[in-house]
Amino acid sequence: MSSSTIPVTVLTGYLGAGKTTLLNRILSENHGRKYAVIVNEFGEIGIDNDLIVDADEEVFEMNNGCICCTVRGDLIRIIEGLMKRKDGFDAIIIETTGLADPAPVAQTFFMDDDVRARASLDAIVTVVDARHVLARLEDSHEAEEQIAFADVILLNKTDLVTAQELDVVRQRVRTINGQARLHETQNCVVPLEEVLERGAFDLDRILEIEPDFLSEDDHEHDDSISSVSLSSATAIRPELFMPWLRNLTAVQGQDILRLKGVLSFPDEDQRYVVQGVHMLLDGNHQRDWKPDEVRTSRMVFIGRNLDPVALRAGFEACAVPANR
Amino acid sequence: MIDAMRETLVQSHGRRAEFGAEPTAILWLGDDAWLTLGDGSVRHMTDAGEVAAHPVHSGAILAACRHPDGRSIVTGGDDGRICRVTADGDFLELGRFDRRWVEHLVASPASGLIVAGVGREAVVWTPGATGATGPSHRYAIGSTIGGLALDGKGKRLAVAHYGGVSLVYAATAGSGRVALDWIGSHLACTMSADGRYVVTALQETGLHGWRLPDLRDMRMSGYVAKTRSFSWDRRGKWLATSGDACAVLWSFDGKSGPMDKPPLLLAERRGAIVTRVAFHPRSDLLAIGYDDGVVVLTQAGDDRPLLVDEGGAAITALSWNDAGTRLGWGDEGGRIGILDMAARA
C-alpha cells in the first residue's frame, strides 16, 4: 500500500461544549477541501459538498485477551466503505457523542490493519466548555478522558467566564493534559489549520512541553488524570527502551490513556516516534534529524495513577552512554 | 513459485478493461459480465467486449448479487437504495433506506428470496415483491449486520453480527430464531449448501463455525488478515477462504467437518495476501486473487499455479460464469480482466 493514507480528525467534547458549532464552521468555511463527516446524531449539519455518514458508536471488545482493547466496529465498516469511493474526499472527520470515551475511537486506528492501511489518526480535537467544565470534571469520567486524549483543545466559551475563572480552568485542563495544543476560543473561532490535517499527531510541537503545567503534586484526588513528561539529552538505547515500554504498557496499560514520544537512538540519523493508547503501541522511524536540531528524546504519558518518579527512573535507565 | 518471465493467461486468452473505480462485484448473466463499481455505476460488458455504463447509485455500490430470475442483478449502495438492474440497463428501485448503507445482498434462485443487510436490519423480498410493493418483511438484529448467507435451498438465512449469528427461515416474517453465540464481531459468513455448517469470519482474524443442528463450535485460526471471501467447491466438500498468503481450504467431507483435520494450503505467495477465492463451478480448479493484483488458477496437488494476471492493485472481485467458461476479476484501481477458458482449449 502507498503511504498516502487519508487523515482523520476526531472531534470530541462534552454535551453542549460547542462541538457542532466547530463542525459547522469547518464545513461552511471556504477551504477548498472536501470532507467525509461521520456523525452520531442527525444534527443541523450538512453542506452539499460534503459527505455525511451516520455512525452507531458500536463499541466492540476485541477477543484477543487484551482487557482494555475496544474498537468502534462501525468506524471500521464505514472507513472501508468510504474507500470504495476513494477520490470523493480529502479527509475524514469523526464526531463522537458528548458522552463518548475516546479510547475505542483511537484504538480503532491502532488495532485494525485494514483501517491502518487506508486512514491515519491526524488529531483528536476536544472542545471544552470553559464555564461548565469544572463541574463536569467532578461528575464525569468521560469529560476528563476527552481532555486527556486530546491533541488539540479548544477551551471554548471564554466570554462566559471571568479572567480569574479562566485561569483556574486553564490550569485544571493543563494538569490533565499538559501536551495538547490549547486554544482559547469564543464560538469555536480558531483558524482551521490549527485543527485539521495537523499531520502525524503533530509530534514536533506537542512535545515542547510547558513545564509549569506539569508539576507533579497537582493531584486533587488519586483518580484524576495527569500528564508526565520526560526528556533525555543522552540517546536512548532501543534494546533497553522497547522492553521497558512494552512491559510498562502491559502492566499499566489500563491506566495509561495515551503516550507519545520522539526518540534519538545511538548512531541513527532518523527520529523514532512512538505512540500508544492503553496497551497498544505503534512505533516508526519518522524522518531524519535536521542538522541543527538538538537530539533530545522526549516522552509524554497521560493517565491515571502515574508515578512520575518511577517513570522517570525507567526512562533514564534506557539512556545509557553507549561506550559503557 | 510463479515465473515472472512467463506470459500471463489474460494476455494470451483474455482481455482487460479500465473502469477507474473499484468493483464491488462481478456478476455473470450468461457470458456477459456485470460489474458494480465504487462510482455508483453498473458496467455491462458483453462477451464481444462492448461496454455499456448505467449510472444507478449516487454513491458507491457496496453490495450486489444476481437476481433470483437469473436475468437481472440487484445492487445496494451507500445512497441507501436497492435497485434491480435488467439486461437492457433499466433499473427499478426495490427499496430506499435514506442515510443507511446497504452493505450486504444475497438472493436464491431456488427460493426466489432476496435479502439485504441494512444497518441493524435484515430486509427480505419474497418472490413477486417489487419496487411498488417494497420489502416483504424485516428482522431486527441487535447490532450492525456483518454478513449474510443463504443455504442451497434459499430458505435458511444466517445473519452474522456482534456476538454470533442468528438463523431464521427467511420466507416467514415470524420465523423462530436460532442463536449461534460466540464472542467477538462476526463479519462475512457462509453456509454450506446442505445447511449443515455456518462459518463466519472474525474481526480478530480467523473463522468460527457451527455444525447444525447440534451447534457444535469449530474454530479455525492462523490467518494473518480478515477473511472476506469464501467459496465452496461444486461438491460442497471444500471451503476455500481468503486471509493468508495462501488460499486456505477446509475439508467438510465426513461428519465432523474440518475438526481435527489440517487445512489444505494452496498457491502460497510470500508477502502477499489472498483477497478473493472462487471455485470453478464444474471442476476442481480454484481461482485466487491477491492483494498485489496477481490472479492464479490452481487445484489441489498442483504446485505450479497458472498465472492469470499480475501487476494491478488488490483484487476485490473474482467470479466464474455458470458454465465455467469465463473468469472475471477486478482490482481496487478499477482494472478489470476477463479470461476466456474456451479460448485456452
Query: Is beta strand B335-340 parallel, antiparallel or unpaired with respect to B14-18?
Result: antiparallel
Nearest CA to CA, how far is B308 from chain A (Å)?
22
pLDDT (mean) for A202-225 = 51
Kindly state whether residues A235 and A199 are assigned to the same domain: no
pLDDT in tens, B328-341: 999 999 999 999 98
pLDDT (mean) for A17-25 = 89
Nearest CA to CA, how far is A248 from chain B (Å)?
24
Query: What is the predicted pLDDT for the residue at B201?
Result: 98
pLDDT band at B69 (very low <50, low <70, confident <90, very high): very high
Are B144 and A73 an interchain contact pair (Cβ–Cβ within 8 Å)? yes
Looking at the domain assignment, is residue B74 inside a domain?
A: yes
pLDDT in tens, A178-202: 888 899 999 999 998 888 887 645 5
Contacts of A78 in chain B (CB under 8 A): 101
Helix axes A103-111, A73-83, angle to 10 degrees: 50
Contacts of B21 in chain A (CB under 8 A): 84-85
Kindly state whether residues A57 and A180 are assigned to the same domain: yes
Query: What is the predicted pLDDT for the residue at A77?
Result: 94
pLDDT in tens, B266-293: 999 999 999 999 999 999 999 999 999 9
pLDDT band at A224 (very low <50, low <70, confident <90, very high): confident
Looking at the domain assignment, is residue A217 inside a domain?
A: no
Query: What is the predicted pLDDT for the residue at A199?
Result: 66
Looking at the domain assignment, is residue B39 inside a domain?
A: no
Kindly state whether residues A197 and A82 are assigned to the same domain: yes
Kindly state whether residues A151 and A99 are assigned to the same domain: yes
Last residue of one domain, picked from the residues B221, B239, B258: B221
Looking at the domain assignment, is residue A215 inside a domain?
A: no
Kindly state whether residues B321 and B251 are assigned to the same domain: yes
Here the CATH number for the domain that contains residue B174 is: 2.130.10.10
Is B140 in the A-facing interface, judged by CB distances under 8 Å? Answer: no
Is B309 in the A-facing interface, judged by CB distances under 8 Å? Answer: no
pLDDT (mean) for A20-45 = 80
Looking at the domain assignment, is residue A323 inside a domain?
A: no
Query: What is the predicted pLDDT for the residue at B134?
Result: 87
How many CB pairs lie under 8 A apart between chains A and B? 64
Contacts of A42 in chain B (CB under 8 A): 99
Are B204 and A56 an interchain contact pair (Cβ–Cβ within 8 Å)? no
- Tell me which of B144, B291, B335 to substitute to probe the interface with A (most A C-beta atoms closer than 10 Å): B144
Are A81 and B203 an interchain contact pair (Cβ–Cβ within 8 Å)? no
Looking at the domain assignment, is residue B271 inside a domain?
A: yes
pLDDT (mean) for B128-141 = 84
Looking at the domain assignment, is residue B250 inside a domain?
A: yes
Are B183 and A74 an interchain contact pair (Cβ–Cβ within 8 Å)? no
pLDDT (mean) for A272-300 = 88
Which cell numbers hold the place of A26?
469547518
pLDDT (mean) for B58-83 = 96
Looking at the domain assignment, is residue A163 inside a domain?
A: yes
Kindly state whether residues B239 and B284 are assigned to the same domain: yes
If one counts the domains in chain A, the total is 2
Query: What is the predicted pLDDT for the residue at A81?
Result: 93
Last residue of one domain, picked from the residues B170, B187, B221: B221
Kindly state whether residues A80 and A183 are assigned to the same domain: yes
Nearest CA to CA, how far is B284 from chain A (Å)?
31
pLDDT (mean) for A212-236 = 68
pLDDT at A219 over 80: no
pLDDT in tens, B5-60: 568 999 888 999 999 999 999 999 999 999 999 999 999 999 998 999 999 999 99
Kindly state whether residues B171 and B116 are assigned to the same domain: yes
Query: What is the predicted pLDDT for the residue at A55?
Result: 84
Q: How far apart are CA B296 and CA B309, in angstroms?
A: 7
Identify which has the larger pLDDT, A210 or B191.
B191
Query: What is the predicted pLDDT for the residue at B1?
Result: 45
Kindly state whether residues B160 and B112 are assigned to the same domain: yes
What share of chain B in percent tops pLDDT 70? 97
Lowest mean pLDDT across A72-86, A110-124, A196-210, B135-149:
A196-210
Kindly state whether residues B290 and B214 are assigned to the same domain: no
Predicted ipTM of the assembly: 0.90
Kindly state whether residues B201 and B262 are assigned to the same domain: no
pLDDT band at A217 (very low <50, low <70, confident <90, very high): very low
Last residue of one domain, picked from the residues B176, B193, B221: B221
Nearest CA to CA, how far is B38 from chain A (Å)?
5
Query: What is the predicted pLDDT for the residue at A215?
Result: 44
Instruction: Tell me which residue range forms the domain holding A253.
Output: 224-316
Looking at the domain assignment, is residue A185 inside a domain?
A: yes
Query: What is the predicted pLDDT for the residue at A216?
Result: 45
Are B144 and A112 an interchain contact pair (Cβ–Cβ within 8 Å)? no
Contacts of B183 in chain A (CB under 8 A): 61, 63
Last residue of one domain, picked from the residues A177, A206, A235: A206
Kindly state whether residues A231 and A289 are assigned to the same domain: yes
Is B59 in the A-facing interface, judged by CB distances under 8 Å? Answer: yes
Nearest to B144 among A52, A56, A63 (CB): A56
Looking at the domain assignment, is residue A219 inside a domain?
A: no
Kindly state whether residues B257 and B118 are assigned to the same domain: no
Looking at the domain assignment, is residue A182 inside a domain?
A: yes
Looking at the domain assignment, is residue B174 inside a domain?
A: yes
Kindly state whether residues A202 and A231 are assigned to the same domain: no
Q: How far apart are CA A256 and CA A278, in angstroms?
A: 5
Kindly state whether residues A132 and A168 are assigned to the same domain: yes
Handedness of CA B103, B61, B64, B89 (dihedral sign): positive
Lowest mean pLDDT across A172-176, B1-5, B304-308:
B1-5
pTM: 0.89
pLDDT band at A15 (very low <50, low <70, confident <90, very high): confident
Contacts of A114 in chain B (CB under 8 A): 225-226
Encode chain B in three state secondary structure: CCCCCCCCHHHHHEEEEECCCCEEEEEEECCEEEEEECCCEEEEECCCCCEEEEECCCCCEEEEEECCCCCEEEEEECCCEEEEEECCCCEEEEEECCCCCEEEEEECCCCCCEEEEECCEEEEECCCCCCCCCCCEEEECCCCCCEEEECCCCCEEEEEEEEEEEEEECCCCCCCCEEEEEEEEEEEEEECCCCCEEEEEECCCCEEEEECCCCEEEEECCCCCCCCCEEECCCCCEEEECCCCCEEEEECCCCCCCCCCCCEEECCCCCCCEEEEEECCCCCCEEEEECCCCEEEECCCCCCCEEEECCCCCEEEEEECCCCCEEEEEECCCEEEEEEHHHHC
pLDDT at A124 over 70: yes
Query: What is the predicted pLDDT for the residue at A98?
Result: 84
Kindly state whether residues A161 and A57 are assigned to the same domain: yes
Are B101 and A81 an interchain contact pair (Cβ–Cβ within 8 Å)? yes
Kindly state whether residues A166 and A231 are assigned to the same domain: no
Is B206 in the A-facing interface, judged by CB distances under 8 Å? Answer: no
Kindly state whether residues B66 and B206 are assigned to the same domain: yes
Is B178 in the A-facing interface, judged by CB distances under 8 Å? Answer: no
Lowest mean pLDDT across A15-19, A241-245, B179-183, B305-309:
A15-19
Kindly state whether residues B111 and B192 are assigned to the same domain: yes
Query: What is the predicted pLDDT for the residue at A43?
Result: 56
pLDDT at B128 over 70: yes
pLDDT (mean) for A96-106 = 88
C-alpha dist (Å) from residue B81 to A48, A84, A251, B157, B245: 19, 17, 48, 22, 36
Are B100 and A54 an interchain contact pair (Cβ–Cβ within 8 Å)? yes
pLDDT at A67 over 60: yes
Kindly state whether residues B127 and B214 are assigned to the same domain: yes
Q: How far apart are CA A47 and CA A29, in angstroms?
A: 10
If one counts the domains in chain B, the total is 2
Instruction: Tell me which residue range forms the domain holding B140.
Output: 56-221
What share of chain B in percent tops pLDDT 90? 86
pLDDT at A243 over 80: yes
Kindly state whether residues B337 and B250 are assigned to the same domain: yes
pLDDT (mean) for B69-94 = 94
Looking at the domain assignment, is residue A94 inside a domain?
A: yes
- Tell me which of B61, B78, B121 to substitute to probe the interface with A (most A C-beta atoms closer than 10 Å): B78
Identify which has the larger pLDDT, B29 or A34.
B29
Query: What is the predicted pLDDT for the residue at A88?
Result: 76
Nearest CA to CA, how far is A284 from chain B (Å)?
20
**Mean of pLDDT over chain B:** 94
- Tell me which of A50, A84, A86, A280 to substitute to probe the interface with B (most B C-beta atoms closer than 10 Å): A84
pLDDT band at B149 (very low <50, low <70, confident <90, very high): very high
Contacts of B185 in chain A (CB under 8 A): 60, 73
Kindly state whether residues B60 and B187 are assigned to the same domain: yes
